Amino acid sequence: MTVALSSTPAVAETPVPHLPDPTGRHEVGVTSVYLNDTSRPDPWMSDVDSRELMVSLFYPTASTAGPVKKYLTPAESRALLADGGITTVPPDALSTVRTNAVVDARPSGRPRSRPLVVLSPGFKKPRATLSSIAEDLASHGYVVAVVDHTYENVVTTFPDGRVTDCAACGQYDLPFWRKLSRGRAADVSFVLDELTGPHPRWRGAHLIDPRHIAMGGHSVGGASTIDAMLADHRIRAGVDIDGTLDAPIPDSGLDRPFMFLGRANTYTPGTPGGAAESWEQSWPRLTGWRRWLVVAGMEHASFTDIGVLAEQFGLDLGADTGGDRGAAITRRYVRAFFDLHLRGERQPLLERPSSRFPEVSVVG
């Protein structure tokens, strides 16, 4: 559930790295929120008696004044590039990425008018790597909470300057993945409590419609979406983006809408290696609306910002589909799913193959 990037020599003149522009009509605001769950100890640190989380909230705004979000700090950039074995770009390169979200802009909308989507990143990946999906959803009127699962990624930076590393990194057997997935479900439930409870921790929380909440994630973040939905019925729909399940859905099933979206070379039924089998085992237990889509030419990181940025830095992921194209496919299909199940808007894109996206095949 991790990805290593191979590298090729960097081009002589690299343009300013940037995320793709959002496609919706709204400008995008963003703020960082610190949360501390004192009801449970940290699952990875025996001497930490609470669970601290950092969350990036993306949302619609009418304001374009103010600084745009920094993608990563120089220290975070160094840690992520070092984990991927990347030495052909400057260590602080990811701190120079241009984003599209204005920091602490005033949220816009009517009370309880915005559906909420929670996003969970892949193992060892900071929450920033799902920024392009989050920005795009926010530009179409969603509030999006992207969660850093502390000690499960290469680095998390807290407002007081503390920096944590990947205490969970080490041996990766099945009990480890089960612990991680269930822990993420608990993280997400706590985030929902803090955003939709009687004393919300964000000034724009009055915009969130608590009846319309969904979740998605990449890699283990996608796989843990199932655990989160089984544990918390506030989550009405979920998307697993290229995440192998560590255990099949229980016999009791999952009766809310769910979508698998993954690489054709890995998640096409019958593909050797076990990843596709993990989806096949759970497929009959998805008893609500369901969809299984595979995308030709994509690699694991192609579904995240890493696909876009690697290409801009001259790094080779091994994907036949370009970074911008991969981002466009991911954002469009993920948004179609949420538009259908949180807004009730019919989506022909999810019903049959599309000539606009010939890379995408409908398995089921």
- Please give the domain boundaries of the chain with CATH numbers for all domains: 29-362 (3.40.50.1820)
Cβ distance 224 to 185 under 8 Å? yes
Alpha-carbon distance of 285 to 250, in angstroms, equals 7
pLDDT value of residue 15: 78
Alpha-carbon distance of 118 to 229, in angstroms, equals 11
Neighbours of 364 (CB within 10 A): 12
Strands (E), the chain: 6-7, 27-37, 51-61, 101-103, 114-120, 143-148, 156-157, 163-164, 208-218, 235-241, 258-263, 290-295, 315-316, 360-362
Cα separation values, 12 from 15, 88, 91, 314, 316, Å: 10, 11, 17, 10, 16
pLDDT tens for 140-162 read 999 999 999 999 999 999 999 99
Q: Which residue shows structure tokens 């991790």?
A: 2
Backbone φ and ψ for 275, nearest 5 degrees, come out as -65, -50
Give 65-132 as a DSSP string: -SPBPPSS-HHHHHHHHHHTT--SS-TTGGGG-B--EEETPPB-S-TT-EEEEEEEPPTB--GGGGHH
- Indicate the pTM of the whole model: 0.94
Alpha-carbon distance of 78 to 155, in angstroms, equals 10
pLDDT by 10s per residue, the chain, length 364: 334 444 444 444 557 999 999 999 999 999 999 999 999 999 999 999 999 999 999 999 999 999 999 999 999 999 999 999 999 999 999 999 999 999 999 999 999 999 999 999 999 999 999 999 999 999 999 999 999 999 999 999 999 999 999 999 998 999 999 999 999 999 999 999 999 999 998 999 999 999 999 999 999 999 999 999 999 999 999 999 999 999 889 999 999 999 999 999 999 999 999 899 999 999 999 999 999 999 999 999 999 999 999 999 999 999 999 999 999 999 999 999 999 999 999 999 999 999 999 999 999 9
